[in-house]
Amino acid sequence: MKNIKLSENTGIQLPAKNLLMIVAGAVVATISFFELENRIGSLETSRELFEADLLKKSQQLPTDQEQFMLLEHIASQVENIQKEMETMRNNNVNINYAMKDIEKIKENLEDLKDKVRANGNH
């Protein structure tokens, strides 16, 4: 058996193609490792946030959940009522103008009645 002596000055003959393949493999492995590490960290963070949200929801009482639902329902009803009131404001203005016109028509009608009565008496 032959003894191999290795030192700093020992030379290794290796084709450039093989050397480049070894370096490329090391680079790909390093990049893959960091990408995998990053993805695992992201997934762990997502899981922890999900668990925290789940814990918060599990601590809510059913009455709290019911109250939140009722508040949402009431809020939508208030929005509908506000829209309805806005249209009623417009209607109120129109009704006021119509009432003024009706009063004028009544006055004119009374004047006409008076003139007709006056003509019948002569």
What's the number of CA atoms in the CB half-sphere (13 Å) around residue 76?
Answer: 5
Q: Taking the C-alpha atoms of 35, 37, 39 and 41 in order, what is their torsion angle to the nearest 10 degrees?
A: -150
Q: Residue holding tokens 């990049």?
A: 31
pLDDT of 114: 87
Task: Show the domain range for 56.
Answer: 16-92
Q: What is the pLDDT of residue 67?
A: 86
pLDDT averages per 10-residue partition of the chain, 122 residues? 74 84 94 95 92 76 80 92 84 85 92 85 64
- Determine the pLDDT at residue 55: 74
User: Total structural domains in the chain?
Assistant: 1
Interatomic CA distance for residues 116 and 110, integer angstroms:
10
What's at 112, amino acid-wise? L
Domain-located, residue 109: no
Quote the DSSP letter at residue 9: T
pLDDT of residue 109: 92
- DSSP class of residue 2? P
3-state secondary structure of 4: coil
Tell me if 1 is assigned to some domain.
no
- The total number of residues shown for the chain amounts to 122
The confidence score (pLDDT) of residue 116 equals 86
Residue 85 lies in a domain: yes
36 inside domain: yes
